[in-house]
Amino acid sequence: MRVAKIIKLNALEEVKLVKLSKGRRTSVRLAERAKIVLLAAEGRDNQEIGEVLGITRQKAGRWRLRYWESGLAGIEKDAPRPGRHPKYDESVIEEVVRKTLHEKPSNATHWSRSTMAKASGLSDSTIGKIWKRHGLKPHLVNQFKLSNDKNFIEKLEDIVGLYISPPEHAVVFSCDEKSQIQALDRSQPGLPIKKGRCETMTHDYKRNGTNSLFAALNIADPKITGTCMNKHRHQEWIKFLNLIKKEVPQSKEAHIICDNYATHKHAKVKAWEKRNKNFHFHFTPTSASWLNMVERFFRDLTENQLKRGIFKSVDDLVETINGYISRHNENLKPFIWTATANDILEKVKRGRQNLNKLQTA
């Protein structure tokens, strides 16, 4: 007849086990195992422990034995389980990964699960599992462009500095236009979402005109100052700057971050800047509009309101945009910039190195 192992605890072991059995941050499993050991140390047998904790006698005996053999380490981790043996050799998996990274199918620009399955003799689901394990997504492609601006580093450090450590007693605005926003009305009404079916929308549409949104994101708030205009020339840009001017006390400096669009550098805009001494313009590097934080707001506006919106007229579009800005300003959630200039420069450096390798290959 098998006899349960006798558990004897010293003062330190008992304190640790009591703490584990009652700790709020202790997992339920570990707390239960600690209670098993404590009850065993009181001299109770496995049957009695099982009845007290509502578990089987076998389970109580298993964790009693593991503590007797390995101490606290024996109950902190689960024993390794053998599991099912891999169906395919690692060489087969490595070949799928190699093909995915270095080859292309003869009749397509990228692999799909079915084309790779035919090429490798595996099932579609197996290819999906291999790709998931190795983080491969051949069906996705990201767009990028490295800036060739000669003053890229200086402009980058200037703008990131305004985001991370803005000047005292100053206001920083990230400004841009979202131009040519279309007021689209679908040719037929779509069907609403229901169980088992997503919302539907026709592919064709009626274009009811366009409008442009001028927006300034206050880096500190982040309140949006925005207005819609029919055109986006330098005249409209100056009108928008005057709108921002009304919100900035004359005693404060205002820093305007914007891109290199010709409208922002027009002679009349430069004359406006000379007249308003407390306004200072900071231009993003060329091909680096991602550095302008207001683009984040434009993205949210597009995804939440414009992409699937239906607008019978330009007035309907403008009303929707103004309503979205108002709701945004009622429930302000800051866009926090975390990347330092050095972090960005390191990524740009790696990108240039990879491009050089491809060009010289």
pLDDT at 266: 94
191 φ, ψ to 5°?
A: -95, 140
Instruction: Give the residue carrying structure tokens 């800047």.
Output: 273
| Residue 139 amino acid letter | H
pLDDT at 86: 66
123 domain-assigned = yes
pLDDT digits (tens, 9 = 90+) for 93-143: 999 999 999 999 988 999 999 999 999 999 999 999 999 999 999 999 887
Assign residue 83 a region: left if phi > 0, alpha if psi is -120 to 50, beta otherwise?
left
Q: Which of 146, 106, 58 is nearest to 350 (CA)?
A: 146
148 domain-assigned = no
Give dist(CA 264, CA 96) in Å, integer. Answer: 51
Strand ranges (E), the chain = 170-186, 205-218, 224-229, 253-258, 279-283
145 domain-assigned = no
pLDDT at 26: 84
Q: Which of 52, 76, 100 is the last residue of a domain?
A: 76
Looking at the structure, do residues 228 and 252 belong to the same domain, yes or no? yes
Q: Hey, what's the torsion of the CAs at 254, 260, 262, 266, to 10 degrees?
A: 30
149 domain-assigned = no
Looking at the structure, do residues 34 and 68 belong to the same domain, yes or no? yes
Looking at the structure, do residues 23 and 117 belong to the same domain, yes or no? no
Looking at the structure, do residues 71 and 206 belong to the same domain, yes or no? no
Q: Which of 228, 253, 186 is nearest to 326 (CA)?
A: 228
Q: Which two tokens stand for residue 37?
A: 């050991």
Give dist(CA 276, CA 271) in Å, integer. Answer: 9
Cβ of 335: how many Cβ atoms within 10 Å? 15
What's the total number of domains in the chain? Answer: 3
Q: Which of 286, 331, 35 is nearest to 149 (CA)?
A: 286
Tell me the C-alpha to C-alpha distance, in Å, between residue 137 and each of 97, 128, 129. 11, 9, 11
2 domain-assigned = no
140 domain-assigned = no
Looking at the structure, do residues 43 and 96 belong to the same domain, yes or no? no
Three-state DSSP class for 240? helix
280 domain-assigned = yes
Q: Which of 44, 76, 108 is the last residue of a domain?
A: 76
183 domain-assigned = yes
Looking at the structure, do residues 64 and 100 belong to the same domain, yes or no? no
Looking at the structure, do residues 187 and 214 belong to the same domain, yes or no? yes
Q: Which residues contact 281 (CB under 8 A, 6 or more apart)?
A: 256, 258, 264, 273
Looking at the structure, do residues 115 and 195 belong to the same domain, yes or no? no
CA atoms 244, 245, 251, 252: torsion sign: positive
231 touches 344 (CB < 8 A): no
pLDDT at 250: 85
Instruction: Give the residue carrying structure tokens 């089987």.
Output: 56
User: How far separated are the first and last CA of the chain, in Å rounded?
Assistant: 74
Domain enclosing residue 27, as ranges: 11-76
Looking at the structure, do residues 98 and 165 belong to the same domain, yes or no? no
Q: Which two tokens stand for residue 340?
A: 């330092």
Looking at the structure, do residues 69 and 204 belong to the same domain, yes or no? no
Looking at the structure, do residues 167 and 299 belong to the same domain, yes or no? yes
Mean pLDDT by 10 residues, the chain (361 residues): 79 88 86 90 89 90 88 80 73 92 91 93 92 92 83 90 89 94 90 87 90 94 92 93 92 92 93 94 90 92 92 94 95 84 84 76 60
pLDDT digits (tens, 9 = 90+) for 174-229: 999 999 999 999 888 888 888 888 988 888 889 999 999 999 999 988 899 999 99
Tell me the C-alpha to C-alpha distance, in Å, between residue 101 and each of 104, 107, 108, 111, 353. 8, 17, 14, 10, 19
Kindly report the CATH number assigned to the domain that includes residue 187.
Answer: 3.30.420.10
Three-state DSSP class for 232? coil
160 touches 341 (CB < 8 A): yes
Q: Which class for 291: exposed (0-12), middle (13-18), buried (19 or more C-beta within 10 A)? A: buried
| Residue 30 amino acid letter | L
pLDDT at 257: 94
pLDDT at 271: 95
pLDDT at 73: 85
**Mean of all residue pLDDT scores within the chain:** 89
Looking at the structure, do residues 269 and 327 belong to the same domain, yes or no? yes
pLDDT at 79: 66
